[in-house]
Amino acid sequence: MRMMRGHLETLQDMTYLLSRHEYEKAAAVAEEGLGMSSAEMHFKMYVGKYLPRDMRAQGKRMHEAASHFAKVARNAAKGDALDKALAAMAKVVKQCVACHSAYRVRRSED
Ligand code: HEC
């Protein structure tokens, strides 16, 4: 859950940085916090290895979407339109939503 709250913070940072047209920073934050470069660390340090295979695949799609965002945001830094970065951002959030609607942690009170 700590990792998840970190994800939300990363999204917040990405949105804020986009609003300030700080594309390189938005890309770096996304790649570091959610992109493929964070995937291995999440896998080792957190829950990755305990996840069912389909859920892990869902997580991977999110990491890929975040790395894609980083690429698009870097292009935005070179003058590409902001709407492309926002569209890529929406795809990242879509992966969060997809996983949340499919999976729950089972708690003892459930
Ligand atoms: C691979 C699946 C998966 C992906 C992808 C995923 N989450 Fe989660 N997340 C979960 C699960 C499972 C829970 C626990 C939900 C429950 O049991 O109620 C959770 C819980 C959370 C929580 C609640 C934490 C708390 O303290 O209660 C937040 C916030 C959150 N996720 C944010 C995000 C954000 C933001 C993203 C996308 C950047 C994301 N998650 C992507 C599976 C995922």
pLDDT digits (tens, 9 = 90+) for 51-99: 888 998 999 999 999 999 999 999 988 877 789 999 999 999 999 999 9
User: Is the pLDDT confidence value at 4 over 80?
Assistant: yes
Average pLDDT score over residue span 12-22: 96
pLDDT at 7: 95
- Domain assignment present for 110: no
Residue 89 burial (CB count, 10 A): 21
Give the pLDDT band of residue 15 (cuts 50, 70, 90).
Answer: very high
pTM assigned to the model: 0.91
Amino acid at 23: Y
- Domain assignment present for 107: no
Structural domain including 69 reads: 2-102
- Domain assignment present for 18: yes
Among 16-20, 21-25, 75-79, which stretch is predicted with the lowest mean pLDDT? Answer: 75-79
Give the pLDDT band of residue 3 (cuts 50, 70, 90).
Answer: confident
Residue 95 burial (CB count, 10 A): 19
How many independent structural domains does the chain possess? 1
Chain position carrying tokens 């003058």: 79
pLDDT at 108: 65
Q: Which residues line ligand 1 (CB under 6 A)?
A: 1, 4-5, 7-8, 11, 34, 55, 58-59, 62, 92, 95-96, 99-100, 103-105
- Domain assignment present for 89: yes
Amino acid at 33: G
Q: Which of 10, 67, 96 to mutate to test the pocket of ligand 1 (most atoms within 8 A of CB)?
A: 96
- Domain assignment present for 108: no
Closest CA to 3 of 41, 29, 36: 41
Q: Which of 91, 99, 106, 109 to mutate to test the pocket of ligand 1 (most atoms within 8 A of CB)?
A: 99
